[in-house]
């Protein structure tokens, strides 16, 4: 009976161990050594389905504090969580702010901020964003005059310049404090436009200005209203944004403002597509001549976005010409007036999060927990059986057998635990590299965006690091060539701490414009290499078949009849067929994550092709250790289907 009771206790403990949620709040005692506050969102607003900024303020009260600040988004019903962390060192009595950006899918997901050290939670706070969501996007106004709020709200209620367009719900306007602005560009993900009016821009850090500039280059819109009260110091602070726009040698000249007494008709609003009513054209308006831009309104391209310079105070225009003022903002805030596909940036930003969801479906922390629990249960059962033999008192031979079983089980358990300790965690780094071209062939490229995932933990650490390329000062077009834009997908191997893992760069296929092809024309798969480069070992999947195309020269066209390829049932099945210089097992492991990315479906989304570029590839051994990163370049192509485009 004692043995049965012991086994029942073990089974109960096993059930508790397996079903315990790894995200349970069991982080140790709360210390009074540090206090933290957190602000989530832009001016108190968040847009679900986007990256949102988080500002954490930490204060060391009684003693020095060294630990890790973690911002965690809790996900109901999921083993995976989205988290970002940063090391913090605070001398006693000091206060410091830390900026983060995290993907937020729903306002029902609370945000938890904690300071931890050696597994103990020194301080923790939980921020609810319920009821603070904006359905579509927000307008960020950097202004000390609340009157701009009503003006922007009225203008955004009709997002098309056409007066016949039915009014829609106005875009909410947020007035964030300057010190809460993010220092990474993708934290502006849910923002439609940023209006810079009369704020003390000189108080912003350089990283905050550069984040705003990079967001514009990725497709955002900035509107700068420069009035007679504008400080030269504020204009100097805006130089990272203004300098690439100037087309004259004055790009490096110190900013200067010269007021000009004029009328509304002299402001140059017609260049923006705004008609000035005759009744308001003669209204007095003080216009400023900004060095390098002139005294007339103008819109400048910056990457895929735009910067609009209004050489007057926006509030003064509203006072002397209210109709013209509202029409001006309607044009500037009109959906699609600057970027052909305003939502494409947000779709790309969430690519990392979508891949995280895919990896989370593989079992997360449950599978290792289940295996360990099963092993411990079996060990305990054997151990109890051995003890029962020792205590049976039925002869020395049985006691010897029992003692041998106990010793063998103990040695085996110690060996297994030692092996598990030496095993490196299964860590994955997913890196998203983006290349987007607009109709004028201007490219905005994010060089590297990385999200680190660990399947051995219950949370996923998100580290999104990348920036669009900004045009060189004094050039009319961005200094990005077509060859650079073709750097679509990279598979680098690098060291993350003491663990060797790989990073996978995934490009949303709908933004690849350098290679086109037509497929499923009749009973033929036709591929045209319009990349301008030699493609090595190309393969194409169409209608559930994989076709090996071999090398395709620039401009060459190849055709393969349907029915002559290798049959595959899913996108994962053909990854093992892709040629390259790494062995098949590791190649399948790398390309398998491409296959699991959203949008890769052979039957519903049309054909897909993969090819290695001409660049020689180095032999790669994933089991080796590298001091430097090793990169493997590959091009992923979305093939257009003429049948589905009709």
How many C-beta neighbours within 10 Å does residue 542 have? Answer: 25
Distance CA 404, CA 393 (A): 16
| Annotated domain spans of the chain | 2-12+365-423, 31-127, 138-341, 428-645
Average pLDDT of each block of 10 consecutive residues along the chain (646 residues)? 49 45 38 83 84 90 86 62 76 90 80 86 87 81 74 59 47 87 84 88 91 81 85 85 67 62 88 89 87 84 82 87 87 56 37 38 39 64 69 65 75 64 41 41 39 36 45 38 35 28 28 29 59 57 64 73 64 37 42 40 38 31 29 34 30
Q: In the numeric block, which tokens belong to residue 8? A: 């029942």
Q: In the numeric block, which tokens belong to residue 258? A: 């010269």
The single residue listed with the structure tokens 């519903």 is 604
Alpha-helical segments (H) within 549-609? 584-596
Decide: 173 and 149 in contact? Cβ < 8 Å: yes
Q: In the numeric block, which tokens belong to residue 340? A: 């052909």
How many C-beta neighbours within 10 Å does residue 62 have? Answer: 11
Distance CA 55, CA 71 (A): 10
Architecture of the domain defined by 138-341: 3-Layer(aba) Sandwich (3.40)
Helix/strand/coil for 83: strand
Cα radius of gyration rounded to whole Å, the chain: 30
Which residues fall within 8 angstroms of residue 549, CB to CB, at 6 or more apart?
527, 538, 539, 540, 558, 560, 609, 611
Distance CA 40, CA 34 (A): 20
Which residues fall within 8 angstroms of residue 312, CB to CB, at 6 or more apart?
225, 226, 227, 267, 285, 286, 287, 288
Determine whether 371 is exposed, middle or buried from the number of CB atoms within 10 Å of its CB (0-12, 13-18, 19+). exposed
H or E, element range at 288? strand 284-290
Tell me, what's the pLDDT at 119?
78
Tell me, what's the pLDDT at 435?
41
Tell me, what's the pLDDT at 106?
79
Closest of 109, 66, 79 to residue 458, by C-alpha: 79
Which residues fall within 8 angstroms of residue 478, CB to CB, at 6 or more apart?
303, 442, 443, 444, 469, 470, 471, 472
Decide: 501 and 629 in contact? Cβ < 8 Å: no
How many C-beta neighbours within 10 Å does residue 606 have? Answer: 20
Architecture of the domain defined by 31-127: Sandwich (2.60)
Closest of 161, 134, 139 to residue 150, by C-alpha: 139
Pick left, alpha or beta for residue 474 (phi over 0 → left; psi -120 to 50 → alpha; otherwise beta).
left
Tell me, what's the pLDDT at 120?
84
Kindly report the pTM of this predicted structure: 0.57
Between helices 396-422 and 366-390, what is the axis angle to 10°? 160
Which residues fall within 8 angstroms of residue 632, CB to CB, at 6 or more apart?
490, 491, 492, 493, 580, 581, 582, 590, 617, 618, 620
pLDDT digits (tens, 9 = 90+) for 506-515: 322 222 222 2
H or E, element range at 60? strand 50-60
Decide: 511 and 436 in contact? Cβ < 8 Å: yes
Closest of 230, 189, 168, 582 to residue 353, by C-alpha: 189
pLDDT digits (tens, 9 = 90+) for 62-79: 788 888 888 888 765 443
Closest of 146, 170, 149 to residue 158, by C-alpha: 170
Q: In the numeric block, which tokens belong to residue 14? A: 């096993």
Please name every residue paired with 521 in a beta bridge, in sequence order, or none if there are none: 524
């Amino acid at each position: 009976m004692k043995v049965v009771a012991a086994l029942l206790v073990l089974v109960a403990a096993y059930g508790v161990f397996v079903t315990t949620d790894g995200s349970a709040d069991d982080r140790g005692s709360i210390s009074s050594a540090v206090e933290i506050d957190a602000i989530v969102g832009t001016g108190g607003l968040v847009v679900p389905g986007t990256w949102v900024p988080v500002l954490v303020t930490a204060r060391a009260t009684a003693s020095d504090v060294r630990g890790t600040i973690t911002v965690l988004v809790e996900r109901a019903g999921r083993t995976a969580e989205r988290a970002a962390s940063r090391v913090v060192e605070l001398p006693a009595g000091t206060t410091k702010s830390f900026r983060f950006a995290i993907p937020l899918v729903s306002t029902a997901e609370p945000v938890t901020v904690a300071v931890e050290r050696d597994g103990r939670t020194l301080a923790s706070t939980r921020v609810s964003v319920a009821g603070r969501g904006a359905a579509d996007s927000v307008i960020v106004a950097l202004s000390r005059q609340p009157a701009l709020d009503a003006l922007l709200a009225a203008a955004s209620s009709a997002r098309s310049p056409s007066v016949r367009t039915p009014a829609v719900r106005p875009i909410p306007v947020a007035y964030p404090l300057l010190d809460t602005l993010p220092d990474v560009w993708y934290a502006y993900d849910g923002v439609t436009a940023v209006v810079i009016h009369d704020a003390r821009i000189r108080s912003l850090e350089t990283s905050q200005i550069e984040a705003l500039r990079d967001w514009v280059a990725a497709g955002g819109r900035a509107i700068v209203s420069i009035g007679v009260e504008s400080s030269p110091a504020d204009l100097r602070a805006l130089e990272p944004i203004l300098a690439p726009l100037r087309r004259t040698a004055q790009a490096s000249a110190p900013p200067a403002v010269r007021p000009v007494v004029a009328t509304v008709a002299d402001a140059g609003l017609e260049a923006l597509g705004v008609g000035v009513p005759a009744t308001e054209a003669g209204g007095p308006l003080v216009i400023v001549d900004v060095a390098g831009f002139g005294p007339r309104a103008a819109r400048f391209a910056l990457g895929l976005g735009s910067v609009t310079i209004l050489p007057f105070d926006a509030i003064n225009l509203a006072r002397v010409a209210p109709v013209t003022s509202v029409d001006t903002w309607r044009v500037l805030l009109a959906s699609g007036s600057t970027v052909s596909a305003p939502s494409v940036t947000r779709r790309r930003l969430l690519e990392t999060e979508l891949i995280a969801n895919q990896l989370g479906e593989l079992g997360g922390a449950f599978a290792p927990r289940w295996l360990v629990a099963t092993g411990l249960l079996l060990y305990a059962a054997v151990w109890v059986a051995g003890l029962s033999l020792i205590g049976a008192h039925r002869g020395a031979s049985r006691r010897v057998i029992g003692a041998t079983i106990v010793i063998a089980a103990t040695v085996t358990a110690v060996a297994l635990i030692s092996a598990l300790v030496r095993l490196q965690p299964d860590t994955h780094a997913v890196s998203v590299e983006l290349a987007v071209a607009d109709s004028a062939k201007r490219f905005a490229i994010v060089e590297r965006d990385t999200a680190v995932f660990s399947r051995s933990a219950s949370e996923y650490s998100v580290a999104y690091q990348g920036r669009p390329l900004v045009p060189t000062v004094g050039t009319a077009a961005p200094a990005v060539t077509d060859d650079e834009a073709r750097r679509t997908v990279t598979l680098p191997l690098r060291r993350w701490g003491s663990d060797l893992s790989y990073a996978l760069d995934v490009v949303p296929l709908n933004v690849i414009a350098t290679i086109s092809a037509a497929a499923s024309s009749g009973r033929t798969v036709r591929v045209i290499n319009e990349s301008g480069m030699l493609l090595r070992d190309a393969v194409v999947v169409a209608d559930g078949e994989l076709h090996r195309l071999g090398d395709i020269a620039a401009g060459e066209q190849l055709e393969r009849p349907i029915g002559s390829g290798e049959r595959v049932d899913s996108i994962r099945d053909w990854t093992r067929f892709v040629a390259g210089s790494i062995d098949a097992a590791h190649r399948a492991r790398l390309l398998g994550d491409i296959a699991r990315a959203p949008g890769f479906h052979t039957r519903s989304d049309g054909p897909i092709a993969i090819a290695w570029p001409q660049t020689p590839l180095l032999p790669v051994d994933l089991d080796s250790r590298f001091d430097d990163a090793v990169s493997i370049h590959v091009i992923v192509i979305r093939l257009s289907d003429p049948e589905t485009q009709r």
